[in-house]
Amino acid sequence: MARFFMAGTNILGGMAIMRGRDAEHVHVLRMRPGEDMIICDGQGTDYKCRLVRADKEQVEAEVIEVVPCPAEPSVKVTVLCGLPKGDKTEYIIQKCVEAGASEILFFNAKRCVAKPDMPEKKLERWQRISEEAAKQSGRGIIPHVGWAGEYADALNVAVHTDLALFMYETGEREKLDEVLNAHKDIQTAAIVTGPEGGFAEFEADLARMVGLHVCSMGERILRCETAPVVALTATMYATGNLS
Amino acid sequence: MARFFMAGTNILGGMAIMRGRDAEHVHVLRMRPGEDMIICDGQGTDYKCRLVRADKEQVEAEVIEVVPCPAEPSVKVTVLCGLPKGDKTEYIIQKCVEAGASEILFFNAKRCVAKPDMPEKKLERWQRISEEAAKQSGRGIIPHVGWAGEYADALNVAVHTDLALFMYETGEREKLDEVLNAHKDIQTAAIVTGPEGGFAEFEADLARMVGLHVCSMGERILRCETAPVVALTATMYATGNLS
């Protein structure tokens, strides 16, 4: 079923009035009166609506049912990634939104090669990728995508969640499944992954000191754009959000 | 540590002799005598070697230790995907090799838009992507990538594994985690996913009839290139191969 976020919509007396880009989109889809669509408020609530009238400028639809969006996971996961080069950021955003992330933030780490210059345009582009992926996968929110800042800023975000996971390739680590199985009832979590060159040792030490769980995901070395998706999928699976 | 597959290598009397493309690669990496490297036989065994002599044509290294490759999962998973369009095949290959697949096969399904013409060149290219990803992620095998044929051929591959999973978005389905939890001791598995347009209903019916587990992965709709990676990660996690 066609799915829209409510940015350009007002709900008034049981009717949804849609204008702007979304109204154009309904027009392009050649939707006819009587057809159903879902308008999501972007905060986890779906309005199931039946189209009454549509032209290029304005769409009117009757609200049939209001339900919590079934695609939203029970745990809010913030994915924090050391800024990678090129289009890997876009890949991470798209796949993590599909896999259920609530927020995706990038940060500058010791071994980042990409320049941490964040022009407004880039942030807007990231947010647009999130919106597209959220629509496509049926999410109830548009996950926020942003710039966390330096490594310490990222740690600061992570420590304020119920379970902060730090993915690391060497040294003393906990097993990801043991950590997740011991924290089944979390409401929030953070997943911290490194840039192309991985984390510096002092970064892993700092993470451990402030209470993050430094975890291994087995002996296979995952690319910097693969690790967040795999860790997020494991978290969703372990908390019952993948079935 | 630098990692090579044994294609161009002979092991003779405790010495590894490498020629061809891999010897050139050692030369390019400017490796010096005394440095360690791993030469993998591509069948799960790693030869830890110390470089004795290297030029562009030939590399000689002393075998120090022979061990099972620690990155190989305990379960051999064949990933079977309805052929998608464009570079999505390459994405699926790269990510599934990283995530631990043993074999990746594509097939023709009712709603495939991509043409199932398989020139030798394309298959070679796919296999090369698998080799690169296997090296990079430290795998002990180079997963075979190939063309399964029509949908019935793919089903035939799947039914000959210990646990055949069919990922489907609607209708009556089992929960992926319940199925996986009931099959912790499997040695082989298959994961079957659809092309862009998903599976036709009769394809899901057929899968069910021949004994595949038709599974949901929750309410989020995953892209055709995301679903195999997520399902494979869940399988690795559930069988203790992600920690």
Contact B216 A243 (CB under 8 A): yes
The residue of chain B with its CA nearest to that of A139 is B220
What ranges make up the beta strands (E) of chain B? 3-5, 9-12, 15-19, 36-40, 45-54, 58-68, 76-82, 103-108, 144-150, 163-167, 174-175, 188-193, 213-216
* Best of B233, B235, B236, B239 to mutate (most A CBs within 10 Å, chain A): B233
According to the per-residue pLDDT averaged within each range, which of A2-11, A29-38, A230-239 is highest? A230-239
pLDDT 10s digits, A125-170: 999 999 999 999 999 999 999 999 999 999 999 999 999 999 999 8
User: Mean pLDDT over all residues of chain A?
Assistant: 94
**Residues of chain B in Cβ contact (below 8 Å) with chain A:** 70-71, 73, 95, 98-100, 136-139, 175-178, 215-223, 226, 229-230, 233-234, 236-238, 240-243
Domains and CATH numbers, chain B: 3-68 (2.40.240.20), 76-238 (3.40.1280.10)
- Nearest CB partner across the interface for A98, out of B95, B220, B238: B220
Instruction: Kindly state the percentage of chain B with pLDDT values over 90.
Output: 82
Among A1, A88, A71, A75, which residue's Cα sits nearest to residue A39?
A: A1
DSSP B147-165: EEEEHHHHHHHHHTSSEEE
Contact A242 B176 (CB under 8 A): yes
Tokens representing residue A97 in the block? 């939104």
**What span, in angstroms and rounded, lies between the C-alpha atoms of B95 and A229?**
10
**What span, in angstroms and rounded, lies between the C-alpha atoms of A224 and A231?**
11
Contact B99 A220 (CB under 8 A): yes
B8: pLDDT strictly greater than 80? no
Contact B177 A226 (CB under 8 A): no
Indicate the burial class of B47 (C-beta count within 10 angstroms; 0-12, 13-18, 19 or more).
buried
Phi-psi category of residue A201: left, alpha or beta, with phi > 0 → left and psi -120 to 50 → alpha: alpha
Residues in B touching A139 (Cβ below 8 Å): 220
In this structure, which long-range contacts are made by residues B220-223, counting pairs with CB atoms below 8 Å and at least 24 apart in sequence?
Answer: B220/A71, B220/A98, B220/A99, B220/A100, B220/A137, B220/A138, B220/A139, B221/A71, B221/A98, B221/A136, B221/A137, B221/A138, B221/B169, B222/A98, B222/A99, B222/A137, B223/A98, B223/A136, B223/A137
> What's residue A9's pLDDT?
73
Contact B220 A136 (CB under 8 A): no
Residues in A touching B242 (Cβ below 8 Å): 176-177, 217-218, 230, 234
Q: Can you say whether the dihedral through the CA atoms of A93, A96, A98, A102 is positive or negative?
A: negative
pLDDT 10s digits, B71-117: 999 999 999 999 999 899 999 999 999 999 999 999 999 999 988 88
What value does the mean pLDDT take over residues B123-137?
95
Contact A243 B137 (CB under 8 A): no
The C-alpha of A45 sits at a distance from chain B's nearest C-alpha, in angstroms, of 14
> What's residue A8's pLDDT?
62
Q: How many CB atoms lie within 10 A of CB B60?
A: 16
The C-alpha of A234 sits at a distance from chain B's nearest C-alpha, in angstroms, of 6
What value does the mean pLDDT take over residues B219-237?
97
- Nearest CB partner across the interface for B136, out of A95, A98, A221: A221
Indicate the burial class of B2 (C-beta count within 10 angstroms; 0-12, 13-18, 19 or more).
middle
**What span, in angstroms and rounded, lies between the C-alpha atoms of B127 and B38?**
21
Residues in A touching B71 (Cβ below 8 Å): 218-221
